Amino acid sequence: MFNKDSGSKHLDEMVTIHKKESDLSVNIYLDDSLSYKRRKHAKQIIFQTDYADKPITNTFASMNFTGELIGTNSLPNEDITKIRNFVKNNLAAIESLADMDIGIVDFLKVMIPGGNPATEEAKKNQLISLPALMTEQENIAENIKIIETGTCLHKKRTKLPANIFLDDTGNWTQSGQWGHCKIIKFQADNDHMTQTNIIIPMSIDENPQILIDNPEISLIPSEIEQIKTFVRNNKDLLLQLDALEIDFFDFMEKMRLSCYISGIKFHLVHFVFPCYV
């Protein structure tokens, strides 16, 4: 149960779906601004536990997306079942709203009202109506933002076949997009200039993985392997940079380069011995 102060503060970050819109017996409140990330809890909806017409009430409970109740509830089981069905019927749209992939206007257009179980066809039609997770234009816009908030490490400094991008501000971690995975990004071609529509994420670990299914990459396998080797060689430094324990200049002073000469790998510290391939 939310108390008056915490409940009202939480509702400031939610959008109200009036019962006349949802065809439920109570007003519900949905996250439309990544509130779940800021408050560090699972995605959920909030609903009134009384039948007041106006959303000015001190009695709230919440329900996560698996239908589990959180807080004290005074509504009869019949109403709770209808709220649970509403969440199941509209799960894809509610999640898209919480992640800001759609706005409230788009949500209302695809919302399945009422508390009866929806047909599979109705839920399928809702999925079709929802926008794609990311269009090409949105991906380019996101990559522009990544370049602005991250730092480009040009290939002439790393001796890699492609430019790479590092997070030295904590923005990528705070976004939560990659969960607990720490990443770098690399340009998927050999161009000296940054191409914002071909930047690919790669995990920072002993076995670096590309984190996009079937990306278009013009680099050959041996070039991708050089980038993975760079990540392995500098894993600890990259994690320190991500955690803001060191800054970009510290990283530059300590980073290790990798060269492949006649199948033999050499590790060189760039500010002591320049490495040429």
- Residue-level pLDDT at 80: 95
Q: Per-residue pLDDT tens for 30-77?
A: 998 888 888 888 899 999 988 887 766 668 899 999 999 987 888 999
Tell if the pTM clears 0.75, that is, is over it. Answer: no
Strand order in the sheet with 199-203: 151-153, 164-166, 183-187, 199-203
Across the chain, mean pLDDT equals 80
- Please give the residue that has the higher pLDDT: either 169 or 81: 81
- Residue-level pLDDT at 33: 84
- Three-state SS annotation for the chain: CCCHHHHHHHHCCEEEECHHHHCCCCCEEEECCCHHHHCCCCCEEEEECCCCCCCCCCCEEEEECCCCEECCCCCCHHHHHHHHHHHHHCHHHHHHHHCCCCCHHHHHHHCCCCCCCCCHHHHHHHHHHCCCCCCHHHHHHHHHHHHHHCEEECHHHHCCCCCEEECCCCHHHHHCCCCCCCEEEEECCCCCCCCCCCEEEEECCCCCCECCCCCCCCCCHHHHHHHHHHHHHCHHHHHHHHCCCCCHHHHHHHCEEEEEECCEEEEEECCCCCCCC
Q: Per-residue pLDDT tens for 187-226?
A: 989 887 765 567 888 999 999 998 887 788 889 999 999 9
Q: Per-residue pLDDT tens for 230-249?
A: 999 999 999 999 888 988 88
Q: What is the mean pLDDT of residues 251-259?
A: 78
